[in-house]
Structures are given as structure tokens and as C-alpha cells.
Amino acid sequence: MSFIEKQSNKLMDYFIGGLLSKTPDMMERSKIELLYWYCILNIFPLVAFIPFLIGEKGFVQTGFVALTIAMLIASLYVFRVAKVYKPVLYLLAAISPIFVLALMILIVPQDLSILLTFIYITLSLVIFTINDRWAIAIVVSALVSIGISAYLNSIGIHSGALIGVEMSDPTALQISSVIKIGMPMILLALALSNFVRINKRTNNKLLSNIEIQQALNHDLAESKEQFRTLVENAEDLFYELTPQGNFKYANPAFESVTGYSPEFAKGLHFTMCLHPDATDLARKFFNQKEYITTPYTEFPIVTKTGKTVWIGQKVSYLVDKNDELIKYFCIGRDITQQKEIRANLKKAKLEAEKAAIMKAQFLSAMSHEIRTPINAVLGTIHLMADENPRADQVEHLNTLKYTADNLMNLVSHILDYNKLDTETIPIKQAPFTLKECLNHTRAGVEQFAKEKGLAFSVEMDPKLPKKLVGDSFRVSQILSNLVHNAIKFTNQGKVVIEVLEHLRTDDFVQVYFSVTDTGKGIPSKKLNDIFEKFTQATDETVLQGTGLGLTISSKIANLLGSTIQVESELGKGSKFSFLVEFQKVKMASISTATVQKGLQIKTQESLEESLSETRVLLVEDNIINQKVAGKLLKRWGAEFDVAGNGQIAVDKIQKTNYDVVLMDIQMPVMDGIKATNTIRALGGKYATIPIIALTASAVLEVRQNALEAGLNDFLTKPFQPDTLNKTIRKYIGLKLDSGEKAIPDDLASRGDIPGPKA
């Protein structure tokens, strides 16, 4: 690249570089460059005349030319800083020829000026023609220049006058013209040569751009062909709709699904193959522009053979610069099979939910039917134990009680597993005393260990906080199950509960619990299976339990955010452990009333106190349970009447004043919940009379329904006599002795049982 060309490019970049960078179209860039160089070349002749105008008679002329050059250059600078680049550039290109033509007419002799003017105007016309409608600017410039020349001639300033040539000396005029005009013409020729070279380079750029555009068009054609091939061979439906919803294009897959050929569908409305039930929804989808927010939709169509097919469709659309819709692009797929699968899954889900409800109802009925006779058995055993039995009878009574307790444990495990399986057991977060929680566990299993001659101990880390926040009942439930299992499968040695602090922060404490025994151990191949339901460690232990204890414990541990780990060696024993995180109790928030105490050891030998002058209505349909409860009430000195169902209870309560009602839930004629609703609806004293539910159902929904119906409390059969005694005394206003609790801990501390209504 030559020096002149480099400097020319720098100059061009200085003045119009910003405009060119904002003009992506190559053709438009070339037009702008052409106009720019035209303006620059118009300045060259003016500059060339300055040396010849300097003199005694050329001061005014020189000033005129210098002012013209300054104006033109100033216009370039204005163009550089202007926000409207193109108008300024076009204005400069239109004005500059006026000065050039005026000087050419006035300075150059007449014959030569005519030729130069013709050449100049022709070149300018070509340049302006390339720039579209601006060609008229050079015509206007020529007319203005001729007008200026005519005016100057009229006042005595003629061709050649500005360079000091007189009209009376033709020879001198010719010689002066040749000498004084030669140099400007040479400069002008050089400038035009450079202009032609630059223009040629611009044309080369245009040709290169044309070649690039042709290559792009070729690539675009190839891409279109590839896309057409993909669309034509796709299994999905591709179709194009007009803004009115008429088919404009459809691929062959359209025919394979609908049975209608693309040629047949072309021009028809999209509703032509829609199922009648879907037509209104489809019109709404397009008319209300729902495809903008929800482009995917599903709808049924009717094929040419009359078969109903479901289509899943994705819609996109194209709009013009005015945001007016041009067309829709749609991709559809036959989803009939998927719809059938979804329908079957929904049906299966409904059937599963129905089966779950039936299962819950069955468990509730089973619970009631089993707990009712167990309640009678345990109540009878309790009454017989208070009648001073002989020593040999005591042994038989203990056997009966042990068997009934085991049966009760079986029922409880099945119900607990059902609740865990349906995830209906909430985890309670309340302050509790860890030591009392462990005392409860000890009290529940210690006698069992003594009967087998095993050493049993609880070892607690003294560094542990006295009070924590969590669900102590669930922790105790896990420990009780693990200890029962350990004692059951240990014939000699010991069982140890160990509680250690694992980690402490400002907000929580992680507590490590473990139960270790010296029993028979578990085979290694069974370690991964023992937490599965109805699974035993060995085949010989099948008759020693339900196989649900560890399953329930594992699920409760998961609800607490923990996992039970097991280590075992055949013949040497086993160790079960788990880690639970408890929140620390803020000292300012601790109060005796809010601490969860768990199950407590009784502080009195007997909590059964007199209920003399208390009149009780016992609503119970089971004759054995009537007798057992009646003997207990009689022993406590209470007067009572018996009602065999809810309807009899409603009749009796309106004839006699009772202090408390003991209400069974499941009874013939009228159940306990309906009877309670009827009694509460009587108003007056009947709205506040204490009604305590005595039921064999332990299902959570039954408890909730009972309390919502207006029952004050809920006792599950079988219950301890002292528990019933305390609950009655609480609701008839008798004072409880020190250390007693009106609600037994096995109910009040459970997170899944609502408290009594006020």
C-alpha cells in the first residue's frame, strides 16, 4: 500500500470511520465512501489555485478561495461530530460543486472551461446517480454556478479575469491560460486518477461481497435442502398455517397420521380434521393467542378412517416489523399411546388410593375387634389380681397377662407400621428431659430383662444437656423396640443402652444412642434384610415376633433424620446405634408446663381414688366390657347406668343428670360420634357435660373425628384402670394428688394424638 493511499485511508477513517462502522451493508458503505472522496476531490482544485492567486490583484480572489476551502473543511468536521451523518455528507457533496464550477468558469478561459465543466458535470452525475436520487443535486449545482458566472460577467468579471488576463490580448490570454492553468489541471488529473483507483478498489470490494453473498446463498440453499429432507422424512407432523388458520404446507407424516394428503389439506382450515369436542377449544387457543404463553397443547383429531387420535402440538409463530402475524409453524406428534398410559396410571393411582382407604378401614375394624376382647381379658385379669388370688393362680394370671400384652403389642406394631407406611406420623418438636425419656424406656423393659435373668443398664453421658428439643416419644419408641429385640434374642449376659454426646454447637446437640446385647447375633448375610417388614434374623426365630419392630424403628429413625446402624457377630451379640440431632433449649423459654416429660414412673402405689357421689353413664355395646367397667366403677364408689348403643345413651341422658359419660365409638344403631353430636346439639348443660371416648380403634382419623365431634378426651382400649380413674376425676373437677397426671403420658406425649378440647 502506497504512502498516499495509507494517508488517504487514515483521513477517511478520521472523518467517516464512525459512520462506516455503523453501516453493515457493504453496498451502502461503498456509496458513502464514494461521496466522501467526491467531496475531498472538490477541495483539491480550490487548493491548487491558491498559489496562482497570490499577488497584488489576487488578494480578494485568494481570500474567496481560502474561505471556500475553510467552509468545505469545516463542513467535514461538522459531519464528523454530527449525529445525522448521511444528511450532512449529502449536503456537503451537493454544495461543493457550486464553488468548483464557479471557479472553473471564471478562471479558465471560455473554450477550455466549457470542456472541463462538461467533464466535471458528467463525472458528478455518475457519482450522484450511484447514490440514487441525489443526481439532481449536481444539476442544481451547475445551474447555480452558471447563474453566478452570468452575474459576474454582467458586472465585468469574465473568464480569465480572476487570473489577470485581459480580453483584448488573445495571445497573452492563451499563454497565461496554458501556464497558470497547467499546474491545477495536473493536480486535478492526479486527484482524479487517485479517485478512479479508489473507486476501482471499492468495486473490487463490491465484487468480493457479491461472491460472498453468492456463497451464503449457496449455503442457505443447501441448508434449506437439508431442512426439507429432514422435515419430509420426519415421523413427527410439520405443518404451516396462514394467519387465518388455513394449511399452507404439511409434510408426508401428516398423511400417515391423519390419512389426508398434504395436497388435499392445503388451503383448508385446521379444524377440518379436529374432533368436534376440541373445535371450540382450538379456536380459542389461536384467537386468544394462548400459544404465546402456552405453546404446547394436546387435542384429539378424527382421521380419514374415522379413528380418534390424540396429537401433542408445539406452536411457534412469525410476525413482521409491525408485530403483525405472518404465519404459524406447528410440530405435532401422535401421543395416543401416551394418553392411554397416563389414563391407566391415573386409574391405577385411584385404585391404589381406594385400596389404601380400604386397608385403613380394615385395620381400624381389625383394631376394634381385637382390642375389644383384649380389653375385657386385661380388665378381668386386673379385677382377679385385686381379689387376693392364690399363689398358683397368680402364676396363671401372669401368663394370661403376658400373652394378652404380646397380642396387644402385635396389634400396635401393625397399626404403627401402617401409619409409617402412609407417612401420617408427624414428628413433634417440644422441650423434654433426656433422663426422664430414658427412665421411661427403662421402666418399660426392665421387668422383661429380670424375668430372663439378664443384666440391664442405661449409661448416659454426664456432659449431655438436661433438656433438649425434639420428639422424645419417638426416640423412646425406637429404644424400646431395640431393647425388646435385644432381650428377646439374648439368653444370658446383659443388655446395655448407651447415650453419648457426639457433637455440640451453639444451636444443636447430636446425641449417639446404642443398644448392645450379648445374644446369639445376626448372620452377615441377613444384616441388610433385617429392617425389611416381616423379616427375622434366622429361620428359628420366626415364632418369636412379628418381624415389624425393626422396620418400624428404622422408619421412625428416618423421620428423625437418622439411620439405624447394626454391627453383629454370631454367638457374641449385636449392637444397634443411631444418631439424632436435637435443638438446644433456650433457658429463657423453659417452663415446667412446656417440658415434654415422656412416660413417667408412678409416684404412688395406687392412683385409683374414690368416685363416690359421681354418676356415670357407661355407653358400651360389648357385654364383657360392660361388666369389667361396671366392676371398676362400683369399686370406686361411683353410681352408673349402662347404655347398649348411642341412641339409648341420648334417651337416658335427657332423663337423668350424669356427671360424666364414657362413650364407645363403634356401636350398632347409633355410633359414639353421632351420639356425641346429638347430645351437644341439645344445648344447655349437654353442651358442656364431659364425654370421654373409650374405644378399641387406634386409627388417627378416628381420634380426630371423635375430638372434632365434641368429645373431651380419648382413651384407647385396653387402658389401665388408674388411667380411667384419673381422667374421670379430672373432668368432674376432683383434685388430683401430687405427682399424678390427668392424661397418661402414652397419650399426651404422642405427636400424632390431639390434646383434649377445652
CATH of the domain at 321: 3.30.450.20
Preceding omega of 462 cis (within 30 degrees of 0): no
Strands 660-663 and 691-695: parallel
Of 312, 334, 356, the residue at which a domain comes to its end is 334
Distances (CA, A) of 176 to 57, 104, 167, 308: 15, 15, 12, 101
For residues 296 and 357, membership in a common domain is answered with no
Note the Cα 301 to chain centre separation in Å.
33
Same structural domain, 392 and 465: no
- Any residues with CB less than 8 A from the CB of 280 and at least 6 apart, and which? none
Say whether 603 sits in a helix, a strand or coil.
Answer: coil
Task: Give bridge partners of residue 565 from the DSSP assignment.
Answer: 577
> Is the residue at 608 inside a domain?
no
| Per-residue model confidence (pLDDT) at position 604 | 34
Q: Is residue 753 part of a domain?
A: no
Q: 369-385 as b/e, with b when 16 or more CB fall inside 10 Å?
A: ebbbbbbbbbbbbbeee
Q: Are residues 372 and 483 in the same domain?
A: no
Which residues of the chain have a pLDDT value below 50? 56, 162-168, 172-184, 187, 534-546, 588-607, 735-758
**213 phi and psi, to 5 degrees?**
-65, -40
Q: Is residue 228 part of a domain?
A: no
Position 221 in a domain: no
Q: Are residues 65 and 115 in the same domain?
A: yes
Whether 637 and 707 map to the same domain: the answer is yes
- The 8-class DSSP code of residue 149 comes to H
* 604 within domain boundaries: no
Q: Is residue 291 included in any domain, yes or no?
A: yes
For residues 540 and 669, membership in a common domain is answered with no
Give the torsion sign (CA, 320, 323, 325, 331).
positive
* Contact (CB, 8 A) for 676 and 691: yes
Residue 431 exposed, middle or buried by CB count within 10 Å (0-12, 13-18, 19+): buried
Asked if 446 and 554 sit in the same domain, the reply is yes
Q: Is residue 602 one of the residues assigned to a domain?
A: no
Segment 484-542, tens digit of pLDDT: 889 988 989 999 999 999 999 988 999 999 999 999 888 877 777 677 654 444 444 43
User: What's the CATH code of the domain at 687?
Assistant: 3.40.50.2300
pLDDT of residue 619: 94
Which stretches of 446-572 are assigned E, i.e. beta strand? 455-460, 467-470, 494-504, 508-517, 565-569
Range of the domain at 385: 344-417
Q: Is the same domain home to 634 and 581?
A: no
Question: What is the tally of structural domains in the chain?
Answer: 5
pLDDT for the residue numbered 576:
93
pLDDT for residue 457: 93
Give yes or no: residues 203 and 90 share one domain. yes
pLDDT at site 581:
93
**Beta strands 247-250 and 713-716: pairing type?**
unpaired
The pLDDT assigned to 92 comes to 72
pLDDT at 16: 72
Residues 327 and 352 in one domain: no
Residue 56: predicted pLDDT: 46
CA 46 – CA 102 distance, rounded (Å)? 11
Q: Could you tell me if 147 and 46 lie in one domain?
A: yes
Q: What is the CATH number of the domain that holds 541?
A: 3.30.565.10
- Tell me if 737 sits within 8 A of 609, measured CB to CB: yes
Q: Exposed, middle or buried: residue 620 (CB in 10 Å: 0-12, 13-18, 19+)?
A: buried
Same domain, 329 and 349: no
Q: Of 302, 334, 366, which marks where a domain is finished?
A: 334
Q: For residue 420, what are the contacts with CB-CB under 8 A and spacing of at least 6? A: 552, 555, 556, 559
Q: Give SS3 for 644.
A: coil
CA distance 689 to 711: 9
- The Cα 159–Cα 53 span in angstroms is 15
Tell me which residue of 316, 310, 313 sits closest to 331, measured CA to CA: 313
Produce one character per residue of 94-104: b if its CB has 16 or more CB atoms within 10 Å, e if not: bbbbbbbbbbb
Residue 464 lies in a domain: yes
Per-residue confidence (pLDDT) for residue 757, from 0 to 100: 34
**Last residue of one domain, picked from the residues 363, 389, 417:** 417
Residue 682 corresponds to which cell in the numbers above? 341439645
